Structures are given as structure tokens and as C-alpha cells.
A = this chain, B = another copy of it.
Amino acid sequence: MAGKLFLLPMLLGDSSIDLVIPHEVKNQIISLDTFFAENIKTTRRFLRKIDKTFNIDGSTFIVLDKKSDHAALSEMLQIIKNGKDAGIISEAGLPGIGDPGSKLVEMAHKENIQVIPLTGPSSFVLALVASGLNGQSFAFHGYLPVKQPQLDKQIKDIERISGQQNQTQIFMETPYRNNQMLKQLIESCHPGTMLCIASNITTSEEYIKTKTIQEWKKTQIDLHKKPTVFALLKQNR
């Protein structure tokens, strides 16, 4: 009989495990011995943090990242088909959002393997609910283009759509480019557009504020190297 594929949560940063991982999810994680991990080092550290006595050496860790091709994913799937329960684990947050992993889940459905998502922190969801922006309609874009003029164009496009559809637009940036991103948003967007900046979510350094672009222009803030989610909504009032 085939095993099950668990989707495991990971911490978003240096936060307390018991603030973001439910007790039974911890138990489920350390009951496994097979992990498809975006980052094996982080995964091992996380397992040890949950349970100091966790049998790292007796477990199997296979890298599942953007370089994993179909053959590699098929091998992972075969392990489950052979009867092993296994978990996909991302570098931060839930697997399959803004990271690889969903490809293996897609293949699992085709093979009728049971997929079980476990609760944990998701930076974009926590940012969204804390933003006060529209939570009835929203879109997530992952990472925006790095280069101009594509970045300016994409920001203007999603701002326009957000106004037309009253749809909150959520995206991220590589932490060392966050200050540039904020500068670009201030340049590209309408002064009245609402922007939520949510940094270091679930850590002791958590910072979540929603202001207009005009207000952000007057705000001194350093986002360098701080994991940040941006959420934007154009006001039609």
C-alpha cells in the first residue's frame, strides 16, 4: 500500500516553534523519516529544534528545489508508492507557495496518493489578514521582475487591476532588494494607494504597517535583509 504525502510547515525565521507549529503537527513531523527538503541543513536544524533526540542519521533527506527535474521527482514519488510516508518541507513557511514542491504534489494526485497539508505559518496569509486590506478578493504574484522597465510596468499593471477589481495584490522581494522595491513602489504608484509592509513576521522583530504611498514616502524605514511581504490596494474613493 502506498504511503502518504505530508506537506510540512517550517518556521518563517528565528521564531518560537510553539508560536507557529501546532503540537500534533510537531508529532507528525518527527514521526516521519523521509523528507523532501528545499534546504536539508535548515530541515535538520528544525527537526532537532522540535526534538533534540530526533534520529537524523536514520532519516532520509532528498533535495527538492527548483532544479529537481521530472526524473528526480519520479524517484521521490516511487518512495511513497513503495509504502513510505514522506513530507515535503520548504525553506520557510508552507511548501508549494512561492517555492517548488507543487509539482510533486501534482504527480501524487495522478497516482492517487493521499496528500495531507499540515497547519503552520504562511507569511503572505499573516501579512494579508494583518494588512486590513481586502481579504475577500486578492492575488498573490510571488516575486516581481527584477529589472526595469519590466518592474515598473508590472507594479503599474497590478496597481491598476487592484483598483479595477478592488483586489489586494500580494508579492515578495529578495530581502536584500527590499529597500529598492519600496523606493520603486513609491515612484510607480498613485500617492493614495494603500501599501502594507509586513517584515519579520512571527519573530520578535515583527513589523506590520499599512499606510498610503504618500505616507510611506515620509517614513524612514530600513527593510534591508528583512524577509518582507508587500500588499497593495488602490483606493477608488
Contact = CB atoms under 8 A, between A and B. Distances in A.
Interface in A96-116: 96-99, 101-109, 115-116
A175 interface: no
Contacts of A192: none
Contacts of A24: 16, 18-19
A94 B25 CA distance: 18
Contacts of A199: none
Interface string A133-150: 111111111100000000
A12 to B, nearest CB: 9
Given A18-B24, A117-B201, A119-B20, A134 B206 contact: no
A139 B139 contact: yes
A126 B119 contact: yes
Interface of A: 7, 16, 18-25, 94-99, 101-109, 115-117, 119-122, 125-142, 167, 201-202, 206, 208-211
